[in-house]
Amino acid sequence: MGVIQEKVTPEFKRWVGYCEKNKKSQIGTYDSPEDYKKNAGTGNYTVFAELYRSKTGINVQGQPWCDSFFDTVLIHLFGVDKAKALLGGFSAYTPTSVNYYKQMGRYHKAPQEGDQIFFHNGTRIYHTGYVYSVKDGIVYTVEGNTSSNKILENEGGCVAYKQYPLGWSSGKKRIDGYGRPDYSIVETYQEGFVLAADGKRWWYQYKNGSYPSDGWAYLTEQTSGSSGWYLFDTKGYMLTGYQTAPDGKKYFLCPEGIHEGQCMVTNDQGKLMIAEYDVMAKKYLLN
């Protein structure tokens, strides 16, 4: 399995059911959004536009968001520079996004998983989504700013699963083609801690692109070269401060500095019990 199956497709799928909000104050953040259905409205206010603005400087809040949804997921997964290289540039205007792919020679008529699908309404490219599967003559998608009630609906206000026969058309509407990001750009990873999209939290990336989550991992901090145990939440973000681990015991994880996140075991009252970890013996050395 590659980066498409391990990271990209699951990230798009996790947003299915999310609906735009009535007000900007109701959206939350990409990593901590308001409940998907709560305050669902027609204002085009989304967590995607907020992260998109903070990372690209392009403000599309309150505007149709099918295209910015696609861009934002890649920005979240791979950072601004790599996402821009994957897409050819940033734009929430679908005709411009198609032109970026064409300029890179990466616009196709036959789909595959990981592609960005584009629809034409007889006048211009006007809607887009993510291809998560192609099977038995059907292309399956995740689309933003749409509805699950119709085969194609570009103003439904939510993220939904859709599906189409290959070569689908209906009246003037049709599948125009597929933009194909060059995922080889992100198939090779540098191992180490990576700053999250919020600019505050950290996660750890292995050389194969995977990352630890929901438990402990013994890792090397690349800047200092020191090694130690780190605790990660279910989403893969490193925890700091006093934490209760999955084993039910309390631990103290260095809150800042080059040793941020490294573990020091405490008793139930929070008193430190150990100072370092013996790699050869694979156990902690008690004070």
> What tens digit of pLDDT does each residue of 1-49 get?
588 998 999 999 999 999 998 888 888 888 888 888 888 878 889 999 9
Q: Please give the residue that has the higher pLDDT: either 169 or 218.
A: 169
Q: What is the pLDDT of residues 218-242, one digit of tens each?
A: 887 766 677 778 889 998 999 988 8
For residues 61-70, average pLDDT: 94
CA distance 208 to 206: 5
Q: Residue 92: left if φ>0, alpha if ψ -120 to 50, beta else—which one?
A: alpha
pLDDT tens profile 115-125: 999 999 999 99
Supply the mean pLDDT for the chain.
85
pLDDT of residue 171: 92
Q: Which residue has the higher pLDDT, 277 or 179?
A: 179
Task: Report pLDDT for 253.
Answer: 83
Percent of the chain with pLDDT over 90: 51
Whole-model pTM? 0.68
C-alpha–C-alpha distance, residues 56 and 52, integer Å: 6
Q: What average pLDDT does this structure show over 134-149?
A: 91
What's the rounded mean pLDDT across residues 120-131?
96
Token pair of 9 as six digits: 């497709």
H/E run at residue 132: strand 125-135
Residue 253: C-alpha distances to residues 94, 204, 232, 283 (Å) = 45, 15, 11, 17
- Dihedral (Cα; 211, 84, 113, 194), 10-degree rounding: 0
Mean pLDDT computed over 122-149: 93
Most confident of 21-30, 159-168, 197-206: 159-168
Environment class of 28 (CB within 10 Å of its CB; exposed 0-12, middle 13-18, buried 19+): middle
Identify whether the C-beta of residue 112 lies closer than 8 Å to the C-beta of residue 131.
yes
